[in-house]
Amino acid sequence: MAIDLELADCAAARSRLTACQQAGPLCAHEPDCEAALYRLLARAAADRPGEDNPWEFRYRKFADINEKMERAGMGYPAQPRTWDSGDENDRPGNDDDWRAQTVPGRLGIPAFKLLSNDRWLITAKEIDEALDAYTRTPDGLRTELETDQKWQDWLRWLAVARDHGGFEAE
């Protein structure tokens, strides 16, 4: 299964623009939704120069990243909470709370967020926890992991995504 990752602020602005466009021909927001999205996309381009779509992560499969994050103490295997109703409006809390769920007492990024395209929200807090754990990873393991270009790109993505409120996995 391929999963798309997008910087959280860009994804939220894109969603708001879509909703605004569906509501009518004129945007009543200030700044206007389209301008707000383009401002965030320009910021992403400045943060990730040379990337074709700097607001998105170029890779779409994450089993290997989950494995490496677990080895480095940055993530953990887990299952998302379930709900009884098939109606998304019956989820506990608001949608962002549901999409940002974690496992109490665990630090880092739960693996389930990178194994399905259910619009999971990986928060800046989770990223901070993961990157902090990586600083405590033994040098030998870090050296081994960093021979992989995808892993190096992942670490850079996390650093940028942290400053954009995290990222969405869809």
Residue-by-residue DSSP string for the chain: ----EEEHHHHHHHHHHHHHHHH-SS--SSS-HHHHHHHHHHHHHHHSTT-SSTTB-S----HHHHHHHHHTTSEE-------S-S-GGGSSS-HHHHHT---TT--SEEGGGGTS-S-EEEEHHHHHHHHHHHHTS-HHHHHHHTTSHHHHHHHHHHHHHHTTTEEEE-
pLDDT score for 151: 98
How long, in residues, is the chain?
170
Confidence (pLDDT) at 96? 72
pLDDT in tens, the chain (170 residues): 789 999 999 999 999 899 888 887 777 777 888 899 999 999 999 999 999 999 999 999 999 999 999 999 999 999 998 765 455 555 555 577 888 999 999 999 999 999 988 899 999 999 999 999 999 999 999 999 999 999 999 999 999 999 999 999 99
Torsion of CA 120, 125, 130, 136, to 10 degrees: -170
* Contact between 129 and 107 (Cβ < 8 Å): yes
Predicted confidence (pLDDT) per residue in 32-51, tens digit: 888 999 999 999 999 999 99
Task: Give the domain ranges of the chain.
Answer: 56-169
pLDDT at 24: 77
Tokens of 117: 């395209």
Question: pLDDT of 15-32, one tens digit each?
Answer: 989 988 888 777 777 788
**What is the value of pTM for the model shown?**
0.89
Specify whether the backbone of 63 is left (phi greater than 0), alpha (psi in -120 to 50) or beta: alpha
